[in-house]
């Protein structure tokens, strides 16, 4: 078991995920034999992680210390903060504490994984207090792009450690849950030992626009559209869904909902009281045809260009119930996540080609970030007045800029710590120091497989995607040193076989000679023959094409 270099009178804080990256937020606060976990998120894969669905942290350190973990507390219900919960619960069954919306979303995830009845769940509010033997946890309300967002204060024997979660200071939120500035100021006045704060927008010298500002822009757009509206946003953005639905009802439009996650968001939002939409405001897909275009709003997923989301299928003409009609207006009420820009642009182009008018981008004022800019980050620092500072939730450059903002707000630069996942910061009442490191890499989720896709598999997938594959099939009798059939060569993604007959014929002759030569070797084995085929054919094909396809020999062995 990995033992941290932490003294008995020190608290330890660390990121299992979320440091030097956007996503995978999973943080630990530890004092002696008690650990409080904050969030358990996923990260969406970059383009080079071919076939990977999600990335989660390596939970090995947590598993080794599972008897110390008292609680998993959740700041809010976004995937990069709760998406890893079912995977964590499979190896580490600990009590979960979350606000109403986050809890509803977590229950859905646990049910999908067959874990709902085996996990201890506790719903909390911003007024809740959790007491453990040595530590205490309290909460304070913040604002983000999803309701029921809280920051977390962990009261340890050496001082209070605050983790903000994702936040901005939206003073006019449409969900009527303004940030609790008084509680933040009270924490700061009583003394914050260390602040762990969201760094996502640290590069932006702004105060992020309120959701109300977006609402005004959307209302103006609705006023000027006389045909059908298709509105795409994140299913988790309840505030934006509320704005769209409120405007639809104000203009006498019926609402049709498409996308499983959007359906779930509407159900949860109505049950929890965030969406005040009567039953008769909704219509089914088959009722759309009988309604005038100016009396309908289609609310759907797919604002990030996801291939299987409703909007992408509408754009591709493959949706069973909806097709683009001339005069349709499609509103993208989100900005592309880094890495999704190409997919989003492709969907926009297809929608435009089909005759739709597409409204997107910053110039139309139809989206605002859920994260505070530099001015809000400075306000958080001034309210909390921390002795030490650890920026979280951001890539390295964001973390670095955030420490510079902290210095402007009175935190000495040597009191700020830019850390990597697995780094441990030890805190006493007056000191902070780096105290070791544990392994905290990435684990890939591919389908139902957890961690069974590693770097070798990804390298193979990369090679297949770039260079293709060449399969060699032969039946051989090693005892008689005889080739009984073949070799045949099949190409997929390397060369078009019908137009490359000469190259493949020459390759077959070369492989035939290689197999015969390999079988005559004194200690010839199936493995040695395979390796000889790979080496020789790889060299031959590179000489002819300057490409390195994957070579896959399939040998049928007779006479063993």
The annotated binding site for Ca(2+) is made up of 51, 53, 446
Round to whole Å and give the CA distance between 408 and 452: 46
- Coil/strand/helix, residue 473: strand
- As given in the structure block, the two tokens for residue 222 are 């609705």
**H or E element, residue 544:** helix 526-545
- 371 among known catalytic residues: yes
- 198 among known catalytic residues: yes
Backbone angles phi, psi at 269, to 5 degrees: -60, -40
Do 557 and 530 touch, CB atoms closer than 8 A?
A: no
Query: Could you tell me which residues are annotated as the binding site for substrate?
Result: 235-237, 367-371
Do 385 and 194 touch, CB atoms closer than 8 A?
A: no
Strand positions, DSSP E, 336-458: 357-359, 388-392, 423-427, 432-437, 442-446, 449-450
Each residue of 348-377: b (16+ CB within 10 Å) or e? Answer: bebbeebebebbbeeeeebbbbbbbbbebb
**Chain-centre distance for alpha carbon 325:** 33
Number of alpha carbons in the 13 Å side-chain half-sphere of residue 532: 19
Round to whole Å and give the CA distance between 45 and 443: 11
Is beta strand 96-98 parallel, antiparallel or unpaired with respect to 69-73? parallel
DSSP string, 101-131: HHHHHHHHHHHHTT-GGGS-EEE--TT-EEE
Residue in 180, 198, 423, 442 annotated catalytic: 198
Interior angle at CA 307, CA 318 and CA 42, nearest 5 = 150
Round to whole Å and give the CA distance between 430 and 317: 63
Q: In DSSP terms, which residues pair with 437 in a beta bridge?
A: 423
Alpha helix (H) residue ranges in 200-278: 211-223, 238-250, 260-271
Residue in 170, 180, 360, 371 annotated catalytic: 371
Catalytic residues, by residue number, are 198, 371
């Amino acid at each position: 078991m990995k033992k941290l270099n932490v003294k008995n009178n020190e608290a330890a804080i660390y990121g299992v995920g979320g440091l030097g990256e956007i996503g995978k937020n999973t943080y630990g606060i530890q004092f002696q034999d008690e650990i409080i976990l904050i969030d358990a998120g996923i990260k969406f894969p970059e383009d080079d992680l071919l076939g990977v669905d999600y990335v989660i942290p390596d939970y090995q350190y947590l598993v080794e210390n599972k008897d110390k973990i008292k609680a998993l507390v959740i700041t809010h219900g976004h995937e990069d903060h709760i998406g890893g919960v079912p995977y964590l619960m499979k190896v580490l069954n600990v009590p979960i504490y979350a606000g109403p919306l986050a809890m509803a979303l977590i229950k859905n995830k646990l049910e999908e994984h067959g874990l709902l009845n085996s996990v201890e769940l506790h719903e909390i509010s911003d007024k809740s207090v959790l007491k453990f033997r040595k530590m205490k946890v309290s909460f304070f309300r913040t604002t983000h792009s999803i309701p029921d967002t809280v920051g977390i204060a962990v009261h340890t024997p050496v001082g209070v450690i605050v983790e903000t979660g994702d936040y901005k200071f939206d003073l006019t939120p449409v969900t009527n849950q303004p940030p609790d500035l008084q509680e933040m100021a009270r924490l700061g006045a009583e003394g914050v030992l260390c602040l762990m704060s969201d760094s996502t927008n640290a590069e932006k010298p702004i105060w992020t626009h309120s959701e109300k500002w977006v609402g005004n822009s959307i209302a103006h757009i609705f006023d000027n559209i006389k045909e059908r509206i298709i509105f795409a946003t994140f299913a988790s953005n309840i505030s934006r869904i509320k704005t769209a639905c409120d405007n639809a009802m104000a203009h006498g439009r019926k609402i049709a909902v498409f996308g499983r996650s959007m359906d779930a968001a509407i159900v949860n939002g109505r049950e929890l009281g965030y969406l005040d939409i009567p039953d008769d405001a909704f219509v089914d897909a088959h009722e759309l045809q009988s309604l005038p275009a100016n009396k309908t709003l289609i609310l759907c997923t797919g604002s990030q260009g996801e291939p299987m989301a409703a909007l992408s299928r509408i754009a591709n003409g493959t949706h069973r119930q909806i097709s683009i009609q001339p005069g349709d207006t499609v509103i993208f009420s989100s900005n592309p996540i880094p890495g999704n820009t190409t997919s989003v642009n492709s969907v926009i182009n297809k929608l435009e080609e089909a005759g739709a008018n597409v409204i997107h981008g910053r110039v139309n004022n139809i989206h605002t970030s859920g994260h505070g800019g530099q001015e809000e980050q400075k306000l958080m620092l001034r309210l909390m007045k921390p002795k030490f500072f650890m920026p979280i939730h951001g890539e390295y450059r964001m973390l670095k800029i955030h420490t510079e903002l902290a210095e402007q707000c009175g935190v000495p630069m040597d009191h700020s710590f830019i850390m990597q996942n697995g780094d441990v910061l030890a805190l006493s009442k007056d000191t902070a120091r780096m105290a070791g490191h544990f392994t905290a890499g990435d684990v890939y989720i591919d389908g139902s497989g957890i961690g069974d896709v590693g770097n070798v598999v990804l390298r193979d997938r990369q090679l297949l995607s770039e260079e293709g594959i060449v399969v060699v099939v032969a039946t051989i009798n090693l005892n008689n040193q005889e080739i009984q059939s073949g070799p045949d060569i099949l190409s997929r993604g390397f060369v078009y076989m019908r137009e490359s007959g000469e190259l493949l014929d020459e390759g077959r002759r070369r492989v035939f000679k290689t197999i015969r030569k390999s079988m005559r070797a004194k200690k010839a084995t199936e493995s040695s023959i395979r390796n000889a085929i790979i080496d020789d054919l790889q060299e031959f094909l590179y000489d002819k094409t300057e490409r390195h396809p994957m070579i896959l020999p399939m040998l049928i062995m007779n006479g063993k």
